[in-house]
Structure 1
Amino acid sequence: MRPNVFKVAISLIIVLGVITILFLFLYPFPKKVDLVSPAVSFYENDPSSLKQTSIRITGTLNRPLFQQHVFKGAVTIDDLEFTKVNETLDTYVLDKYNGINMGNLVYHKPSKPGEFVTLSMIWFDDSFEHINIVSDWGQDKKKKFFIVSASSYEQAIDIQKKMREKYGSTFVPQE
């Protein structure tokens, strides 16, 4: 009778050990982000509006089990002064598909937390290598204004295309 209890106990310890190792290996713990990425800004379908800039992202991407993921930190764009003097609200990942995250990018005045400066949409991959921001931040409010982590217009369009193929039809720009 004793040997069966011993075998069951050893089997249980092995199974729990494997589950623990798999959990520790696969669980996406919070990820610290501190990067500066070259970027371009432009109006949709207007390569002549291209400007070189950079995106600086610092903070933490929290990915709790069975809960909404959230980026807590700052997103600063060199050519846009309001991103330097205002604070970024927490960016909740509203949708995630094939490694592409989508959320709202909202800036507010630090002295008046309830007063929003601007709202935009941001898509980014899990490593923050590819970033696509769509907004009305440009001078022409009738056209979509993009900021993409790329070095040229062609590369930006290619990155948007690859992100759209992964994310799906609700990615902006849609085509």
Structure 2
Amino acid sequence: MPIKETGFRLAWSIARDAMWIVIPLLIAAAIFGYKYHFPKRIAADYPAVEYRTGEPSSAEHTAIHVKGKLYRPLFRDRYFKGRIAIDKYDFTASADYTMFTVKFNSDVLNGWGSFGYSAYLNRTIKMEMLGAIWQHDDMKELKFTISEPIGASEKQWKGLTLIAPADTIEEAVAIEQAFSEREQTYLQPPP
């Protein structure tokens, strides 16, 4: 019997010593995973189409320039810090305006984010909320719902949508449809 008891004690001793290494490593990994936000540098120029939903003849071509970092923390909402400039809206590229950090709320319409800018001009703070933004696949696809009228303090969405990357209204509608399907999937109750 002493051989089995010695083997058990040896195994227990090794397991106990290993726990002194494994547990601190697991704690360090958990802290790292919580604190580190896994940034991804984004620098992209996209062709874009702006149109009114249901009115293909209203399509206008523009371009979107994205530069900044998309932060992807574990188990929390993604957010983007940087600048998204839309050629059609001059203030979005102006050095006077700073873009707000966009937080993509995973609990709201499958990743909705508020999209706006602020500036300190002539001793007053000016805020320009452009509307809402959704992104897919680390900002490889973008959807904006533009609130109107631009420049007014009170705005509402009247169907003006901006999609990138898209060269034609057909491409824009297809991407917008994919965003809508993801939103509908998100809104479905679990089986």
Do both share a fold (TM > 0.5)? yes
1:106 is matched with 116
Shift of 1:60: 1.2
Q: Could you list the runs of 5+ residues in structure 2 that have no partner in the other structure?
A: 1-8, 151-155
Structure-2-length-normalised TM-score = 0.70
The one of 105, 108, 115 aligned to 1:94: 105
State the alpha-carbon separation in 1 of the partners of residues 17 and 130 from structure 2.
Answer: 56
* Aligned pairs for 1:1-175 within 5 A: 1-10=9-18, 20=29, 29-85=38-94, 86-95=97-106, 101-111=111-121, 114-137=125-148, 143-149=158-164, 150-168=166-184
Q: Are the equivalent residues in 1 in contact too, given 2:146–2:157 (CA < 8 A)?
A: no
- Give the CA RMSD over aligned residues: 3.4
Q: Secondary structure at the match of 2:112?
A: strand
1:125 maps to amino acid: H
1:71 maps to amino acid: F
Shift of 1:135: 0.9
State the alpha-carbon separation in 2 of the partners of residues 113 and 3 from structure 1.
Answer: 72
State the alpha-carbon separation in 1 of the partners of residues 136 and 38 from structure 2.
Answer: 16
Residues 47-75 of structure 1 show CA distances to partners (whole Å, capped at 9, x for unaligned) of: 11212211111111223345543211111
Change (3 A) 1:110 1:71: farther
1:102 maps to amino acid: W
1:51 maps to amino acid: E
Structure with more helix by fraction: 2
Identity over the aligned pairs, expressed in percent? 24
Q: Are the equivalent residues in 1 in contact too, given 2:70–2:138 (CA < 8 A)?
A: no
Q: Are the equivalent residues in 2 in contact too, given 1:41–1:53 (CA < 8 A)?
A: yes
Change (3 A) 1:66 1:114: farther
